[in-house]
Amino acid sequence: MKIIVCGAGRIGKSMVGYLSHGNNDISVIDTDRRRLDEISKEWDVMTVIGNAAHPDILEKSGAENADLILAVTNNDEVNMIACQVADYLFNVRKKISRIDSTAYLNPLWCPLYNEHHIAIDLLISPDVEVAEAIYNIIKIPGTTSVMSFMDKKLYLLSIRCPESCPLLRIPLANIEMAAPDLKMVPVCVVRNNKSFIPNNEFSLEAEDEIFFLVEEKEIDDAIHAFGMDRPSNEKIIIFGGNQIAFLLAQKLEEDDNITSCKIIDEDVESSKRLAMRLNNTTVINGEMLSDAILEDSGIDTVDVTVSVTLKDKDNLLASLIARKSGARSTISLVNSKAYNNLVSNVSDSVIVDNSTVTVSGILKELRKSKITKAYSLGRGFGEIWELKIDEDSLIAGKKIIELELPENSKICAICRDDEIICPTIYDRLQEGDIIILFSSSRAIKKVEKIFA
> Given this chain, do its domains 2-124 and 235-359 carry the same CATH topology?
yes
Query: HSE-up of 380 (CA within 13 Å, CB side)?
Result: 11
pLDDT of res. 354: 87
CATH class given for the domain over 2-124:
alpha beta
Q: What is the mean pLDDT of each run of 10 residues along the chain (452 residues)?
A: 94 88 90 96 95 97 96 95 95 93 78 78 92 96 94 94 93 90 92 90 94 95 93 96 96 96 96 95 94 93 95 92 93 76 60 89 82 86 92 89 94 92 94 94 89 84
pLDDT of res. 345: 46
pLDDT of res. 328: 93
| CATH superfamily name and code, 235-359 | NAD(P)-binding Rossmann-like Domain (3.40.50.720)
Identify whether the C-beta of residue 258 lies closer than 8 Å to the C-beta of residue 232.
no
pLDDT of res. 280: 94
What is the chain's Cα-based Rg? 23
pLDDT of res. 215: 95
Percent of the chain with pLDDT over 70: 97
CATH 3.10.20.30 fits 142-225, yes or no: no
CATH of span 363-451: 3.30.70.1450
Please give the full DSSP string across 226-278, using - where no structure is assigned: TT---PPP-EEEEE--SHHHHHHHHHHHT-TT--EEEEEES-HHHHHHHHHH-
The string of pLDDT tens digits covering residues 383-426 is 999 999 988 888 999 999 999 999 899 999 999 988 999 999 99
Domains of the chain by residue range: 2-124, 142-225, 235-359, 363-451
What is the pLDDT of the chain when averaged over all its residues?
91
Residue 296, number of CB atoms within 10 A of its CB: 13
